[in-house]
A and B are shown apart, each in its own frame.
Chain A
Amino acid sequence: QQPVQSPQAVILREGEDAVINCSSSKALYSVHWYRQKHGEAPVFLMILLKGGEQKGHEKISASFNEKKQQSSLYLTASQLSYSGTYFCGTEGGDDKIIFGKGTRLHILP
């Protein structure tokens, strides 16, 4: 099942913080986060693995609650370059990543 992302869209002013949530109805082994700017390819941000390991950019912060099958991506002191659509992808042990519908983030100067 496709994970549910919230909010669907958010508008921030530069310097403000945002949290994007991702929730799944099934047990997860890993959660993946990507950002896509309009007309471009998605770019890898972070993978959070069952057991606590994380792979990704040092400046990106995220959490993974294995029991609740939820993950959150934290964007602090947002910059104009953070604008785009953020996708979470969930993996339940079958080598497939199922992506959510995305959260559109727009940063105003």
Chain B
Amino acid sequence: DGGITQSPKYLFRKEGQNVTLSCEQNLNHDAMYWYRQDPGQGLRLIYYSQIVNDFQKGDIAEGYSVSREKKESFPLTVTSAQKNPTAFYLCASSMTGARQPQHFGDGTRLSIL
């Protein structure tokens, strides 16, 4: 079955450490997205990519970085510059353009040790 796989499900970060969240999709979608979800805040866009080797900042990109070297993969790195990284991170993909349904992964919950 096609879908989006996020790993790990739970992740713990130490102070000053960079961590990378994995997102892989086999839906043959061109567009991929990273969202951060905090209680009562909805989904906030971190980065998005409409095509391989290209990506754009969302509304809360500071302290995060991404790469899009392959169509299937869109990893997110939470850097030490992100001072409040504790949140639920969701990856999504869609056919090209923002007027297509987005398919979400099951998320990664990141906590600070």
Tally of chain B residues near chain A (CB < 8 A): 24
List the B side residues contacting A30 at CB < 8 Å: 98-99
Task: Choose from B43, B58, B59, B98 the contact partner of A87 (Cβ within 8 Å).
Answer: B43
Q: Is the CB of B45 within 8 A of A96?
A: yes
Q: Is the CB of B42 within 8 A of A55?
A: no
Q: Does B2 sit at the interface, judged by CB under 8 A?
A: no
Stretch from B13-21, B78-86, B103-111 forming part of the interface with A:
B103-111
List the A side residues contacting B35 at CB < 8 Å: 99
Q: Does B34 sit at the interface, judged by CB under 8 A?
A: no
Q: Is the CB of B106 within 8 A of A40?
A: yes
Q: Is the CB of B98 within 8 A of A91?
A: yes
Q: Is the CB of B42 within 8 A of A99?
A: yes
Can you list 20 A-B pairs, Cβ within 8 angstroms, ordered by A? A29-B99, A34-B102, A41-B105, A41-B106, A41-B107, A42-B90, A43-B104, A44-B101, A47-B100, A47-B101, A87-B43, A91-B98, A91-B99, A95-B56, A96-B48, A97-B98, A98-B59, A99-B42, A99-B44, A99-B45
B interface residues (Cβ-Cβ under 8 A, vs A): 35, 40-45, 48, 50, 56, 58-59, 90, 97-107
- 8 pairs of A and B residues whose beta carbons are closest in the complex: A41-B104, A44-B101, A99-B43, A101-B42, A95-B98, A99-B42, A91-B98, A30-B99
